[in-house]
Each structure stands twice: as C-alpha cells, then as structure tokens.
Structure 1
Amino acid sequence: MAKSILITGCSSGLGEDAARRLHARGWRVFATCRKPEDVARLKAEGLESFVLDVADPDSIAQGMAETLRRTGGTLDALFNNAGYGLPGAMEDVPPGALREIFETNVFGLHDLTCRAVAVMRAQGGHGRIVQHSSALGRMFLRWRGAYTASKHAVEGLADSLRLELRDTEIYVSILNTGPVTSKFRVNSIPGFETWIDWESSALADRYRTELIHHLYQDTGKAAFQLEPPAVTARLIHALEARRPRARYFITTATWIVEIARRVLPQRVFDWILAKA
C-alpha cells in the first residue's frame, strides 16, 4: 500500500509543489488548504484534498479525523508546512498580532503534531514528522521579529520532541529554508495592514525607506534564491531515507548564516544582520 502523508498549506508554493511531487512518487497525499476554492482546484487536478485551517482547533480535529477515515486509522507522515509572516518593528507589533501568528505557526502546528504522534504510536511507533521552519528559526532580522519568534518556537518544540521520541521509529526533521520562490511576501500584506500602524510609528521614516517598497513591490530574486523543488527534494530525503537528518539547511544563504552564527562574536554577527 502507498504510504500516506498529511500536508498543510498546499494552496501554493512549497506545499503545493510537495503535494504534486510526492503524489507522483507514489505517496498517498492529503493536500490540505485553508480555503475551499483551493481544495476544489487541487481535487480537479487529481489530488486528495480537504479543508484544514491550522488556526482553528476544530478544523484541525476534523482534518485529522478525515485523514484517518480515509486511511483506516494510520498515518505514515506529517509535513507541517502552513505558516505566514507579519512584517513590522517589534515595538509596533501588538500582543493580539503576536497571538494570531502563533496560532497558525506554532499552536496549530503543535496540535496537529501531537495528534500525529498519537496515531504513530498506536500503529507501532513509526512515522515521519517534518516541520517547516526557516533560516529565521536560527537567526533574526529587523522587521521580522514576530515571524522569527514563531519559528524559534517551532525549533524548540521540534528539537525537544525529537529527543523524546528517540526510543521509537518516529523521526522528527526540520527544514530550514532560506529564500525560496513563493507567495510569502504577498501573503504577509493583509496581516501587516491589519495590525501595523506604521505611519504613527516612531520608525515611520525607516518603514518608508526600508520596508514598504520591498513589501508591496516584487523586487526580483533574492541572492541564492531557489525554486520550490529544491525544498521538496530535502523533504523527500526526510521522508524516505532510512536515517533522516534532524535538520536540513536549504539554500546557500542558510548555510552561510548557520556557519556565521557559530563562529562569529555576537557583536559582529549583529552588525552583519543589521546590514542585511
């Protein structure tokens, strides 16, 4: 029988690419999305899809129940891909905005992960869990504090879970992606417009010169930017290798940052990131 995988955030970008390529490799893919219209489009393309909104606990419960109904109670893998960014200076991010981004990027991810672990333990203690983090799960940048905080939380949850599952064959891996082509920038605009009153900020001039142009206009490819298949290739290794890695650094930029954070004094590392 084909191995089964539940993927969140399949409406575009990395999740959509992963769903299609894993389906082509023979996996039984449950490609979930937040919006019914995206579900309908994926189903029309031949993928199994249904609604799962990781910001809604009821939707998470229903999504996992639907997965298990279709598989007869088993699940071989979970790829927690859904997430979004919220640009803005930390002093301008209200607590409600932080709660909202954590609901999707952290709490929903954790809820779905715990449900998957329970299923994997019940089926004999085997399975794969892959958490989509970021280079910003290992570093930090100006204007990205809310997203960075959420990804640091994902890293902590995943690393602790990996240690706690060492006596099983349930493997936990983290994908640390750098610049990859996606709708991430565009998808972050609604939250920015809802929560960040940048024109009243003490940093309003810096918003105008450093953030607004990049947020609202496509400024072309970033240095070392890759396409989604590069991420899917690492995901496939995490799912199919006999001994998957704990962490996958994806894109040259991510490797450079990881090496720099290990060898440079904090003051020097801060100076470099301030210039980014």
Structure 2
Amino acid sequence: MTRSILITGCSSGIGYASATALRAEGWRVFATCRAQADADRLASDGFETARLDYTDPGTIEVALDRVLAATGGTLDALHNNGAVALPGANEDLPRAGLQHVFETNLFGPHDLTRRVIPVMRRQGHGRIVNCSSVLGIVTAPWRSAYVASKFALEGLTDTLRIEMRDTPIHVILLQPGPIRTRIRENSTALFERYVDWEASARAEQYRRSLLTRLYDAPGRDRFELPPEAVARTLIRALEEPEPSARYRVTTPTRAMEMARRLLPNRALDWILSRA
C-alpha cells in the first residue's frame, strides 16, 4: 500500500525538497504551508496540500482532518519541518517575539504531534520526524530565540522517544545545518517587527554584523548543503527498519556534537562567539 506522510513548511527549502523527493519515491505526500498562496502554488504543482500555520491551532486541526479524510483515517509518517527565526541580541528580544518563535517552532509541532499519535496508535505503526538544527546542539550569537526553541524541541523529542518505547511509533530527530534555505531572508520581517536595534546598547554591533548578514547577499558557507541533502536523510529515517534517534546531516553538525562533548566550556564559547 502507498505510504502517506504529512510535511509542514513546504513552501520552499527543506520542506519542498522533502515533499518532492518522497513523492518521487512513491509516498503519498501531504505538503502543507503557512500561507494559503503557497499552498495554492503547491496544489498547482500536483501536491495534495492544505494551509497549516503552527501559530493557529484551528489550521492544524483542519489540515489534519483533511489528510485523514483523504487517507481513510491513517497516516504513516509526520515530518515537523516548519520553523521561523528571529535574529537579534538576547537582551533586545521582547517577550512577544520569543513567544512567536516558540509558538511556531515548539508549541505548534507539539500540538500536531499530539493529534497524530492516536492515529498511529490505532493503526499500529508510525514515524514522527522532528527537524532540529546544528543550533539544537550548540548556540551562536544573535540567534538565541531560534537556539532556545531548537534546544527545547530536542528535549521534547528525546522525552517522547523514550515514552514511545512501548509503542510501535518511532520518534526521530534530524539535525541539519548549514542548509541553503530562505530562513535568513524570511527572518528579516520578524526582526523588523520585534527588534528595536537602533535603541539597543549594541546598535553599533548590529550595524557591523547582523544588518550585513540580513540585508546583504550572504556568502556561500563552504560546508553548506542543498535542502535535497536533508530530504535524502529523511528518506533514510523513514525507511530504515530500525531508525536512529538522530540523523546529523552536515559536517558542522557532526563536528559541533563532538566539540560539545570534548571541549571545555571556555574553549567552545570562544569558537562559537565567532560564528
């Protein structure tokens, strides 16, 4: 029988590459997006799709109901991929901005996962794959909102994996990064909405560093991979009989995992402060 998967955040990047690759592998892909215009575009490309905004529980419920109606009440896999970033110094992040990031990167995926688990319990199998980041392993300046949400997602996923040991449901983490996506460009709107950088004690640092990263064309990271690399790893996580708890996609992810284990905090802080 054709296997089915629900993927979030499919407008571009990792989500779109994953949806495309899995469809080519014969999966029935339900590719969701936060914006209706993006969902309409995917529909015109032949995907089964729906609008799903992690910050809007109503869209989560409606999208999942639509998927289950189409499959007859089953779902083989869920890939929580959608995420946002809010760049800025920790001291300049307002509560509302941090809350928006957590609504998207943690609370929404948790909500969707809780709704999917009973489906997978009834059918007797399932895989839940959460997309973390190298920034779920280590931190970096200007990224504390994203880092905090990914650290939290890692903890939530690890706990769920242990709790699901007595069920036929596999819970898996992907740890990509750096990957060529639009997350930096997309983060600019949140930065402009929430961060009053000109009033910051770090205004000159913003001018020298973060503003250049946000508004100038970024240079190519020599370790950066295309989103298709994550899609290939996702396929492994979904199809290996006994999947690993974690799949690290890039060289920096593997290196940072080792560095976190081996280096003293002072040395690791020195390295990360130059990220």
What interval of TM-score do these two structures reach, taking the shorter chain for normalisation? Answer: over 0.9
2:121 match: 121
Q: Distance in 1 between matches of 2:67 and 2:219?
A: 38
SS in 2 for 1:172: strand
Q: Which segments of structure 1 move beyond 2 Å, counting only runs of 4 or more?
A: none
Q: 1:229 aligns to what?
A: 228
Where does residue 191 of structure 1 map in the other structure? Answer: 190
Is it true that 1:58 corresponds to 2:58 in the alignment? Answer: yes
Q: Report whether the alignment pairs 1:218 with 2:217.
A: yes
**Letter of the 2:259 counterpart:** A
- Give aligned-pair identity as a percent: 53
Alignment check: 8 A CA contact 2:121 2:168 kept: no
Q: Which residue number corresponds to residue 263 of structure 2?
A: 264
Task: Name the residue aligned to 2:7.
Answer: 7
Question: Counterparts of 1:1-276 in structure 2 under 5 Å?
Answer: 1-124=1-124, 126-276=125-275
For 1:243 and 1:17, how far apart are their aligned partners in 2?
24
Output the amino acid matched with 2:203.
A
CA apart distance, 1:230: 0.6
Deviation at 1:261, TM superposition (A): 0.6
Which shows bigger deviation, 32-41 or 224-233?
32-41
Secondary structure of 1:218's partner?
coil
What's the CA shift string for 1:69-111, capped at 9, x where partnerless?
1111111000000001000001000001111111110000000
Aligned counterparts of 1:69 and 1:257: Cα–Cα separation in 2: 43
Deviation at 1:220, TM superposition (A): 2.0
- CA distance in 1 between counterparts of 2:131 and 2:208 reads 31
Report the secondary structure of 1:69's partner residue: helix
Separation in 1 of the partners of 2:43 and 2:274? 45
User: What CA deviation, in whole Å up to 9, does each residue of 1:34-58 have, x standing for no partner?
Assistant: 1121111111111111111111011
CA contact (8 A) 1:223 1:253 kept: no
**Do 1:3 and 1:27's aligned partners in 2 also have CA atoms closer than 8 Å?**
yes
Equivalents in 2 of 1:46, 1:248: separation in Å? 29
Which amino acid in 2 is paired with 1:149? A
C-alpha distance in structure 1 between counterparts of 2:90 and 2:219, whole Å: 26
Q: TM-score normalized by structure 1?
A: 0.98
Structure 2 CA distance for aligned equivalents of residues 77 and 111 of structure 1 = 15
Aligned length: 275
CA contact (8 A) 2:21 2:232 kept: no
Q: Residues of 2 paired with 1:217 and 1:115: CA distance? A: 41
- Deviation of 1:234 after TM superposition, in Å, equals 0.7
3-state DSSP class of the match of 1:161? helix
Q: Which amino acid aligns with 1:130?
A: V
Give the C-alpha shift of residue 169 in structure 1.
1.7
**Unpaired stretches in structure 2, ≥5 consecutive residues:** none
Superposed displacement of residue 223, structure 1? 2.8
- Unaligned 5+ segments in structure 1 are none
Which is further off, 75-84 or 47-56? 47-56
